[in-house]
Amino acid sequence: MKIRINGNEREFKGSTVMDLFEVAGYDPKRSAVEINGSVVRRSDYGEHTVNEGDVVEIVSLVGGG
Amino acid sequence: MTDLLEIGGRKFNSRFILGSGKFSLGMTEQVIRHGGVEMATLAVRRSNTAGEGNILDHMPKGLTLLPNTSGARTAEEAVRIARLARELGCGDFVKVEIIRDSKYLFPDNVQTIKAVGMLKDEGFIPMPYMMPDLTAARDMADAGAAAIMPLGAPIGSNKGLLTRDFVKILVDEIDLPIIVDAGIGRPSQACEAMEMGCAAVMANTAIATARDIPLMASAFKTAIEAGRMAYLAGLGRVVEGRAEASSPLTGFLRDER
């Protein structure tokens, strides 16, 4: 299925948010996920499914004032 | 002397809040140590792929994290960022920063008031970055702000406490910690803010652009402590138009008639 991750359209073969981390290469311990504007809780990564057309933001903390 | 800063039910010995931008990851740790920092801001950004260092690995345990909502242009966007920050392990503190002006990076007080209310309702401890305006600050307080963070000068400018008279009004009228945020460029300016009764000072660029970064962090720590002590001590009064001798005038060289 096609989804959008951090602004880029990508083909995604997995099904859950946890699969996203593996495919996209982000560190789940240091990232938070928002799908279509809603935060996905860390404890739900294994069950929360990703669907065709989802807009996914994967974010982490950086230095900033 | 016990003189603690209390924000949102948490107590701090340090009144120096560090903005963690513009430092190398290794330097962040040093600045926090030299500055005696107990609270530091962070930003939320799209992740890079794994392998790069993460700033959380360079922040000491026990440091209170203050994620900002930079990048938000509306109250709703600020709330989205705050929720993500909480999920990233930041706790409930959030520096509400909503900016629609890309030249001066001035905050939007109207959107910020709205965001403070929304964040408070979700259990956050909102600390709004704002233009120092008394009416807006009262609205922030009513909406549930835990502290007020007026700017001293445009972000990153190092121009100092240009807003001093307006910040002083907030200190006098608002019953919340007033924390000068943005624009403070020198330790003397941080000291001045503390002397006039600000509860804390936030600085970032002043330290990040110094020649010796850890030394400047120490300088800010000392200046902020000095200003706080001066405020608690109560500044001496000012005499206009004449001098007032500090030494006794009764001399022995001649008899005064």
Query: Per-residue pLDDT tens for A7-42?
Result: 999 999 889 999 988 887 888 888 999 999 999 999
Instruction: Please report, for residues B78, B161, B221, the alpha-carbon distance to residue A17 in angstroms, rounded to integers and kept in the order given.
Output: 23, 47, 43
Q: Is-contact B206 B180, C-beta < 8 A?
A: no
Q: Is B61 annotated as catalytic?
A: no
- The radius of gyration of chain B's CA atoms, rounded to the nearest angstrom, is 20
Please count the residues of chain B.
257
Q: Given an 8 Å threshold on Cβ–Cβ distance, is A32 in contact with B85?
A: yes
Q: Given an 8 Å threshold on Cβ–Cβ distance, is A26 in contact with B28?
A: no
Q: Is the pLDDT of residue B1 over 90?
A: no
User: Would you state the pLDDT for residue B37?
Assistant: 98
Q: State the number of CA atoms in the 13 A half-sphere of B99 facing the CB.
A: 16
Give me the catalytic one of B11, B95, B159, B221. Answer: B95
Q: Given an 8 Å threshold on Cβ–Cβ distance, is A61 in contact with B67?
A: yes
Percentage above 70 pLDDT, chain B: 97
Query: Per-residue pLDDT tens for B139-172?
Result: 999 999 999 999 999 999 999 999 999 999 999 9
Instruction: Please report which confidence band the pLDDT of residue B51 belongs to, taking 50, 70 and 90 as the band edges.
Output: low
If one compares B251 and B61, the residue with the highest pLDDT of the two is B61
B91-120: average pLDDT: 97
Q: Nearest C-alpha of chain A: how many angstroms from B236?
A: 35
If one compares B125 and A31, the residue with the highest pLDDT of the two is B125
Query: Per-residue pLDDT tens for B181-195?
Result: 999 999 999 999 999
Q: Is the pLDDT of residue B256 over 70?
A: no
* CATH superfamily ID and name for B5-233: Aldolase class I (3.20.20.70)
Q: Which domains does chain A have, with CATH numbers?
A: 2-59 (3.10.20.30)
Residues of B in contact with A55 (CB under 8 A): none
Angle at the Cα of B80 from the Cα atoms of B66 and A2, rounded to 5 degrees: 130
Of A33, A39, A63, which has the smallest distance from its Cβ to B42's Cβ? A63
Query: Per-residue pLDDT tens for B193-223?
Result: 999 999 999 999 999 999 999 999 999 999 9
User: Would you state the pLDDT for residue B50?
Assistant: 60
Residues of B at the A interface, defined by Cβ within 8 angstroms: 19-23, 25, 28, 41-50, 54-56, 65, 67-68, 70, 80, 83-85, 87-88, 90, 155-156, 182, 202, 204-205
Q: Is the pLDDT of residue B85 over 70?
A: yes
* Arithmetic mean of pLDDT over chain B: 95
User: Would you state the pLDDT for residue A65?
Assistant: 93
Residues of B in contact with A60 (CB under 8 A): 44-45, 47-48, 54, 88
| Chain A residue with minimum CA distance to B48 | A26
Per DSSP, the three-state class of B29 is helix
ipTM higher than threshold 0.85: yes
A41-60: average pLDDT: 93
User: Would you state the pLDDT for residue B254?
Assistant: 78
Q: Given an 8 Å threshold on Cβ–Cβ distance, is A30 in contact with B54?
A: yes
Q: Is the pLDDT of residue B249 over 90?
A: no
Q: Nearest C-alpha of chain B: how many angstroms from A44?
A: 12
Q: How far apart are CA B182 and CA B93, in angstroms?
A: 18
